Structure 1
Amino acid sequence: MASEQQIPLQKEEQHRPDVPVDTEENITNSSDASLRYLSGWKLHGISFWLFISLFVVQMDTSITSNAILEITDRLGDYEKSSWVFTAYLLTICAALLIFTVFSGACGASQTLTQLIMFRWAQGIRGCGILALTQLVFFELVSPSKWPLYVALFSGIVALSLAIGPLIGGVITEQGQWRWIFWLK
């Protein structure tokens, strides 16, 4: 039987009023000038484009759902249709010019196999946008604003996932399914 040793644990220090905390004011007044955060129109402009990118990528995960029957009617191979979703979602979980190029390629697909491969390529590019949007905001804004930006991020993800099937259904019903890819 191995002997048991007690390892001394370091006590968690409690915050004391006489010890400064890394607040926005303390960081701004500190000698480290590299810890400055964006504000005003610069932050709003960058935020707008990051959120638009996030919206388009997230909407793309759900926009195809209402069009899949029309797609498989036109391209055949219904047995493989679940791979249209699976190929995209697996790769988005694991990397906007590339995304845009492959959106156009999806719209120009002549076979379901082509569509699946182009969706796979979209997923590689899409996951980078999803991850980097969060990381960029943590660098751009002060810690006191993180809850606001996490809430905005979550709201845009939810909105895009809700709107995607509606837009996909309208486009498929009123036009050609290819436009759900060319839209982006």
Structure 2
Amino acid sequence: MIIQQVTRKCHASSSLTKVEEVCQGQQSCSILASNSVFGDPCVGTYKYLKVEYECVQKLAKIVCEHSTLSLRCEGNTDIYILSASYGRNVGTSICQGGTNVVTRKCHASSSLTKVEEACQGQQSCSILASNSVFGDPCVGTYKYLKVEYECELFIFVLHYPHLKLPCS
């Protein structure tokens, strides 16, 4: 007869790192909940792997200078800003309504901060792509605002001994 010891608190310090190494950025992943993967933080005790994760799809929107960028997430999801740039990249054909196209990359350093202030954690938001909001990183050049974001939905799963995390 095998007697399992009960321990109130038992945590492998490598849990997060191991799951991230296998699963981060993947459409789906599978990881074995075992001592061989995570080590044995409490010998003789039956263990399980508990993971909280989110499935996200990266979205992007672009609006030309003097236009309003609107972001919206459906359901119970919130906006999470990944990147934002107000300015222009060399050789892009985006927003060619102006007469001047810059021959170098220009980017307003306040882009990410301004978009995060307006949108981060909201279900929807709007921000004007203009010099009055972001400053003018390249005077006389017609610019655009490009934002990459995710709509976050947190999912909880508890499954052992073999954990499979699907995002579909």
Could you tell me the TM-score, scaled by structure 1's length?
0.26
Q: Which has the higher contact order (CA 8 A, sep 6+)?
A: 2
Higher helix proportion:
1
More strand by share: 2
